[in-house]
Structure formats: C-alpha cells, structure tokens
Amino acid sequence: MNLTKTRLAGLTALLAGSLLAGSALAQTEVKLGYALAVDSHYGVAANKWQEVVEAETDGRYTFTHFPSSGLGGEREVLEGLQIGTVEATIVSSGTLSNFVPEAGVFDIPFLFRNLEHARAVMDGEVGDELLTKFEDAGMIALAWGEQGFRHITNNRGAIDGPDDMAGLKLRTMENPVHITAFETLGAAPTPMAWPEVIGALQQGTIDGQENPLSVITSAKLSEVQKHLTLSGHVYSPAMLLVSPDLWNGMSDEDKAAFTKGATEAVTAMRGFVDEVEASGVEELRAAGMEVGELSDEQKAQFQEALAAAYEQYYGQYDRALIEKITAVE
Ligand code: PAF
C-alpha cells in the first residue's frame, strides 16, 4: 500500500515536472526596452501591454522589461528590433523619421491644435497608414502612443519670445524636423541620445532640453533645470513596435493579442499623460522650477519666426497631407 502510494506520488511529481518543462519550452521571452522609468507613462504602457498579452496567450509570452534606456538609446533599440536582438519597444518619434521619413510630418512645430486633435489624427487614416510603412523599414509598428506636447527647460533664463532662443544650447532628439526648427529660431540645437542628456545638463555642456511634462516629471529634470517654458511647440507621439522576427513566428491569434495589448497600453498611457498634464506644473513648481507659459500671441511670434522652416517642411512633406492633418476635427 505504502509502496503504491509512493509510486503514485513519484508519478504525479514526474507528470507535473514534465508539464512544467513543456510549458517552459513553449514560452517565448519578449525583451521590452524603453527610455524612462517603470513609474512613467512608458512603464504604465509596458505593464499594460504585458498584462494583456500574458492573459490572452495563457502566459506563452513572458516579458522582461529594460526601462531607463537599459538596452541603449532609442535609435539603438530600433536597430535591435531590425536585427532581432530586441523583441519589443516603446519609443518617442525622436529617431523614427530616420527609418521612415514620412513619419517626420508629425514633428512639424505647432501642427496639432491640442491633444484631442493629435489623438484623432493618430487614431485615424493618417496615423494608421503611417504605421504600415514601418514594415518596409524592418519593424512592425502596432500603435501610436503619446507623451504630450513638448516644452522647453533650461538653466539660462526665461523664454518669452523667439529672441530668447538666440544661441541657446538646446539638446534636441536626433530628429531632423526638430533640428531645422531650432536652427531657424537661432538656437544652437545639439542632437543627443537620451541616455547622455542628464549628464550633459549637469556638466553644463548644454543649457537645456525640450520634452513633455510626462518626461520632465518622471526623469526629475527639476533637479538639473531651473526654467520651464510651457511652449507646447510640438506634439510628441510615441510608438509601440515589435521585431519582425517575433511577429513572423506568431500565429494570427498571438498577433491579435499583441495588437490588442498595444491598443490598451496606449489608452493607459494617454490616461497617465492626462494626469501629468493636470498636475505636472504644480509638481515642478513645488520642486523649485520657475515656470512661464507662452501666450497665444507669443506662440504666433514663434510661428512667424519659423517661416523659413515651414518652407522647408512644405518642400519635404506632401502639402495635401499636412492640410489633411490640420483639417481633422
Ligand atoms: O527626448 C527624448 O529623447 C524622448 O522624448 C525620451 C525622453 C527618450 C522619451 O522617449
């Protein structure tokens, strides 16, 4: 009797062990890289993406997060996707137009009226069509996320108009549209990968940078920057992508799970951005930043000062596309 019991227990353990081994074999690791901390809008999106995919696929995909640029700058991570060393990422539009030039149209300053307008464009025909263009660049773009509107921080002084930009050593993303804009305004744009930015601000090799409130708060830029100008000079989209290696090996059901996860991640991300838009300025004031906001009149002065840059953009991007974007309600 005792012997039978022992054998049974042994068999059960063996069976459980082989089941576990079987499920472990069937699991695929997804390395997910992003530039900001886990408690940022990127982390919120990453967690939601993981949660939905794991639930929809009965845990056949396991996510390993690499927050805070743990896999390098955004350009490096996108290159990792192309060659299959990284499975998934959430990135800003910083370097996207270096891979799909058309994506740069969203980086044109003062193109979007407000978050509602931007979201309607990203969720509509124009946004959807641009997502499909990434496949030819060796990446699978599943959804547009968002960071908010970008604002300028610096240690030199308040910015009340375009003249205050003269000679300002401003870190920009490695983004040709942004670089053109700041050059046209007379600043000294310094394109730099994000992992180098805090050090450069601390050492004073640059005076400032520009990013949305979601980034300024989560990266604690108030510790290294004195002035914040709510310029809202450009909308800052984000994107959720996976590698073709991962995607092409998936069943249609698994692809649907990743797409559903990405869509829900964007909803969570936008919710987080809405909260930071409401509370971020007070938080940054309390942390010691001096905050100014450009009036509509001052924004119009910036747009006038950008006239030569707009001429360049109109040569580069289809004017009908720009008009289609501005016409979206
Ligand atoms: O400024 C940037 O490079 C981006 O906005 C950041 C902070 C890496 C988030 O994607």
Instruction: State the distance from the centre of ligand 1 to the C-alpha of 327, rounded, in angstroms.
Output: 28
Percent of the chain scoring above 70 in pLDDT: 92
Instruction: State the distance from the centre of ligand 1 to the C-alpha of 56, rounded, in angstroms.
Output: 30
Q: What is the pLDDT of residues 161-199, one digit of tens each?
A: 999 999 999 999 999 999 999 999 999 999 999 999 999
**Atom number in ligand 1 closest to CA 35:** 8
Q: What is the pLDDT of residues 90-144, one digit of tens each?
A: 999 999 999 999 999 999 999 999 999 999 999 999 999 999 999 999 999 999 9
- Could you count the other beta carbons within 10 Å of the beta carbon of residue 158? 13
Residue 246 lies in a domain: yes
Check: CB of residue 179 under 8 Å from CB of residue 172.
Answer: yes
Rounded Cα distance, 145 and 269, in Å: 7
CA atoms 97, 273, 234, 162: torsion sign: negative
User: Which residues have C-beta atoms less than 6 Å from ligand 1?
Assistant: 35-36, 74, 91-92, 94, 147, 173, 194, 211, 215
Residue 292 lies in a domain: yes
Residue 153 lies in a domain: yes
Rounded Cα distance, 234 and 227, in Å: 18
Domains held by the chain: number: 1
Check: CB of residue 111 under 8 Å from CB of residue 91.
Answer: no
Tell me what pLDDT residue 21 has: 45
For every residue of 253-277, DSSP letters joined together read HHHHHHHHHHHHHHHHHHHHHHHHH
Model pTM score: 0.92
Supply the CATH number for residue 315's domain. 3.40.190.170
Tokens of 240: 């959720």
Tell me what pLDDT residue 18 has: 43
Residue 4 lies in a domain: no
CA atoms 161, 189, 306, 328: torsion sign: negative
HSE-up of 46 (CA within 13 Å, CB side)? 26
Residue 14 lies in a domain: no
**Atom number in ligand 1 closest to CA 238:** 10
What pairs with residue 235 in β-bridges?
149
Give CA separation, 182 vs 115, 152, 191, in Å: 22, 11, 11
Helix (H, G, I), strand (E, B) or coil at 235: strand
Residue 116 lies in a domain: yes
Instruction: State the distance from the centre of ligand 1 to the C-alpha of 194, rounded, in angstroms.
Output: 6
Rounded Cα distance, 178 and 233, in Å: 10
Residue 253 lies in a domain: yes
Check: CB of residue 227 under 8 Å from CB of residue 156.
Answer: yes
Strands 208-212 and 140-154: antiparallel
Tokens of 190: 């310094």
Query: 187's torsion region: left (phi>0), alpha (psi -120 to 50) or beta?
Result: beta
Rounded Cα distance, 310 and 137, in Å: 27
Domain that holds residue 223: 29-327
Residue 120 lies in a domain: yes
Rounded to the nearest 5°, which phi and psi values hold at 261? -60, -40
- Closest CA to ligand 1's atom 9: 92
pLDDT tens series, the chain, 329 aa: 344 454 444 444 444 444 444 444 589 999 999 999 999 999 999 999 999 999 999 999 999 999 999 999 999 999 999 999 999 999 999 999 999 999 999 999 999 999 999 999 999 999 999 999 999 999 999 999 999 999 999 999 999 999 999 999 999 999 999 999 999 999 999 999 999 999 999 999 999 999 999 999 999 999 999 999 999 999 999 999 999 999 999 999 999 999 999 999 999 999 999 999 999 999 999 999 999 999 999 999 999 999 999 999 999 999 999 999 999 99
DSSP code, position 222: G
